[in-house]
Amino acid sequence: MKKVVILTGAGMSAESGISTFRDAGGLWDQYPVEDVATPEGYERNPELVLRFYASQREGMLRAKPNEGHRLVAQLEEDFNVTVVTQNIDNLHERAGSTHIVHLHGELTKVTSTWSPNDTRFIRTLGDDEPYPVLGDKAQDGSQLRPFIVWFGEAVPNIEIAADECSGADIFIIIGTSLNVYPAAGLLHYVPPKADVYLIDPKPVDIHSSRHVHVIQKGASEGMRILRSLLLEQIGKQA
């Protein structure tokens, strides 16, 4: 069974109503990055940061996986699939994908301010559980903070993601500008023999000379086209 690695970004969840970050009217137009997505912003105004991620979680809980998410999950019927996502929502999980590497954290989880990547202090919130407010403590006595990788912080799962990419037979990029590192560098770990596909309605600079099959569509329509193409290839090889 061929190994498929799929790198997804904000465009994957856009059809589910979750705001992208860099597009006009996106989150970074509404909230300055330095205020809500950096350790310094959190230190300056933790209450604002907690309110911001509480509102993002509310939006995530209201959202539903779109057809693109579901088609990604359905690839597991015919391929060994790993989803590497830059998204902090849980729509891939809810669509049925079973092997997901979250690069930038998860809205469903909170953790310690002092030791954010210590698994002893990472806690999954129930859907009905309120998001932490100022004064809510982790087990180590520090303020509970979002389990999110902010700008300027290390990306703990990048080595896991790179290892997955290094074994890919097929690499699929969906809905990411490839402007955020280290995630944007994962293509460099994909073997030269692997087929690479890019699904995005807008032109994307992949910062690479390798050949990429471009499907200039949104996530759902693009995945419909690509899934048919991949299944056709399996049929030809059978």
The catalytic residue positions are 104
CA 161, CA 85: separation in Å to the nearest integer? 9
**Tokens at 43, concatenated:** 């230190």
Residue count of the chain, please give it.
238
**Angle, vertex CA 231, rays to CA 230 and CA 237, nearest 5:** 95
**Nearest in space to 237 (alpha carbons), one of 190, 175, 170, 166:** 170
CA 68, CA 166: separation in Å to the nearest integer? 24
DSSP string covering 82-96 = EEEE---S-HHHHHT
Cis peptide bond upstream of 39, omega within 30: no
Tell me the residue type at 115: S
Residues ≥6 apart with Cβ < 8 Å to 217: 199, 201, 225
